[in-house]
Amino acid sequence: MPINPNASPEAFELHDVSKRYGSLAALDQVSLGFPAGSATALIGSSGSGKSTLLRVLLGLEWPDQGHVKVDGHVLERTQVLELRRRVGYVIQDGGLFPHLTALGNLALLPHHLGWGRDRIRARAEELVALTHLPPSALDRYPAELSGGQRQRVALMRGLMLDPGALLLDEPLGALDPIVRHELQDELKHIFDQLGKTVIVVTHDIAEAAWFADRIVLMRQGRVVQDGCLDDLRLRPADPFVTRFVEAQRTLGESPA
């Protein structure tokens, strides 16, 4: 089941998807499509369901109601392992295994799929060039890397199998502003260069607009607005959108 830009106009679709944890609706009747080869930013307050949405698309969580389609086909439980190989998933702080070097982390899945040592090393070196990781960092353990380097390794791990889609959950959340800015530039460049379907979760509206023309704003498990930055700023779907946009501080603002 390929995440294949030519397979269907929509790489991922949610149809009336709800996901509950006890009495809490993490996703509440969400219907959205993510066109193949497009970039979308998901934003919203903490707990609004952004991570759950990504996890449902990957089959890591299963909807209580509704269904997910991948490349135009309803996602079945039996396809989830295969899907995980075809979609790069990068989470905040990277989720790297501490007892493996960076290269060891990159090698895990390819090794499991039968890739030889040379092929793994060659792919890792290609990605070193793409992500601007110092090559010597490949032989270091996560604790010996800076936060930005760990995040680059996590991104490389997501790209090792050259997936058709990348789902990124606050990939730059824990970085200092300079590294974050640098990685925003690099990620944007990588997205544009690779032409993959990208869905990126962030809290930061400026970062969302940097990564994607399309911004989906969520609140309490629902989509409040789906549009571009100007739609959110100039044509807010409801007062929450304006509150969310205005809550982002700008330089020069000082406490009252």
- Which residues form the interface with ligand ATP (CB under 6 A)? 21, 24, 26, 44, 46-52
CA proximity to 57, closest of 219, 203, 199, 215: 199
For ligand ATP, the closer of residues 19 and 150 by Cβ is 19
Instruction: Say which residue the tokens 């009747």 belong to.
Output: 29
Task: Give min distance, CB of 145 to ligand ATP, in A.
Answer: 23
DSSP percent split of the chain into helix, strand, coil, nearest 5: 40, 25, 35
For ligand ATP, the closer of residues 55 and 123 by Cβ is 55
Angle at 189 (CA atoms; ends 183, 191), nearest 5 degrees: 100
Task: Give min distance, CB of 115 to ligand ATP, in A.
Answer: 33
Length of the chain: 256
CA proximity to 39, closest of 239, 154, 187: 187
For ligand ATP, the closer of residues 123 and 219 by Cβ is 219
For ligand ATP, the closer of residues 61 and 186 by Cβ is 61
For ligand ATP, the closer of residues 21 and 62 by Cβ is 21
d(CA 256, CA 245): 19
Task: Give min distance, CB of 225 to ligand ATP, in A.
Answer: 15
For ligand ATP, the closer of residues 23 and 254 by Cβ is 23
d(CA 76, CA 63): 12
Task: Give min distance, CB of 63 to ligand ATP, in A.
Answer: 13
Task: Give min distance, CB of 19 to ligand ATP, in A.
Answer: 8
Instruction: Say which residue the tokens 């039968």 belong to.
Output: 114
Task: Give min distance, CB of 87 to ligand ATP, in A.
Answer: 18
- Evaluated on CA atoms 219, 225, 231, 237, the torsion sign reads negative
